[in-house]
Amino acid sequence: MLVREVKRRFVVVAQRALASGEFSLDDIASSGGRIDVPLRCLRAAMLSSHGLRPSVIVYLVLCGGEYAPRTIRFDGASVKFLRPDERALAVLVQKTLAAARAQGRAEAATGAAAAAFAEVKPGISVVSRGVDAVLDDVAGTRLYLVREGADDVRAARELGEHESTFFLGDDRGFDVAVTDELERRGAIALGLGPVSMHAEDAVAVLTNELDRRAFAHYGERGA
């Protein structure tokens, strides 16, 4: 029995993932500046084996190359056509970024500035900004900085009881400017165990911890 369904937000800050979307589908990882990392995090956060998680929102902050930074927001309550395989997600991101560029050109022609997220496909929005735009969007939620060596998630009180936003790094970890800003805003540091995992595995472990707390009586049958 589900005792609470509280919105969860995951933010993956991908330090060199191409914000242009101009990468090869035959070599997503190297031609995309390791954009495979945020794509796999998206799958881990948003999809269960039965489909979408409607109470999850994922932000992919793309900080590499031309047009950077750009952030794509996926809202589980309304997103469509999200498939679990990496290539399909890569195609979706490419189409989304191309549509956002076309929208941006139209705005530039009319002199309008896009400072906030604009929806380009159902449940998928883009802004030509980075972590600062995410922080505006998640105002009022509890902030968590997910990083190796921090206090154990299993000892974290009230985890999952409030609308929360979890920030994760990519294969290179975090930019110090991001961690400084999150610490300045009172983000709670959260550790997920003694071993440094791939970012998508960190999302999966954290999702599992949140699921355990969201469902009453889970585990009561004993070992």
- The vertex-10 CA angle with 161 and 189, nearest 5°, equals 70
| 95 touches ligand SAM (CB under 6 A) | no
Question: What six digits make up the tokens of 137?
Answer: 């969007």
| 197 touches ligand SAM (CB under 6 A) | yes
Contact range with ligand SAM by CB under 6 A, out of 67-75, 168-176, 177-185, 210-218: 168-176
| 191 touches ligand SAM (CB under 6 A) | yes
What x-and-dash track marks residues 48-87 binding ligand SAM by CB under 6 A?
----------------------------------------
Residue 71 C-beta: closest distance to ligand SAM, Å: 17
Residue 66 C-beta: closest distance to ligand SAM, Å: 25
* DSSP H or E segment with residue 107: helix 86-110
Per DSSP, the residues of 44-91 read HHHEETTEE-TTEEEEEEEEESTT-SEEEEEETTT-----SSHHHHHH
Question: What six digits make up the tokens of 141?
Answer: 């939620």
Contact range with ligand SAM by CB under 6 A, out of 120-128, 166-174, 176-184, 207-215: 166-174
Question: What six digits make up the tokens of 30?
Answer: 């190297």
Residue nearest to ligand SAM (CB): 173
The single residue among 51, 54, 122, 193 that binds ligand SAM, judged by CB under 6 A, is 193
- The vertex-46 CA angle with 42 and 49, nearest 5°, equals 115
The single residue among 34, 40, 70, 147 that binds ligand SAM, judged by CB under 6 A, is 147
Please report how many Cα atoms fall inside a 13 Å half-sphere around the Cα of residue 123, on the Cβ side: 18
Q: Which residues bind ligand SAM (CB under 6 A)?
A: 146-148, 168-169, 171-174, 191-193, 195-199, 202
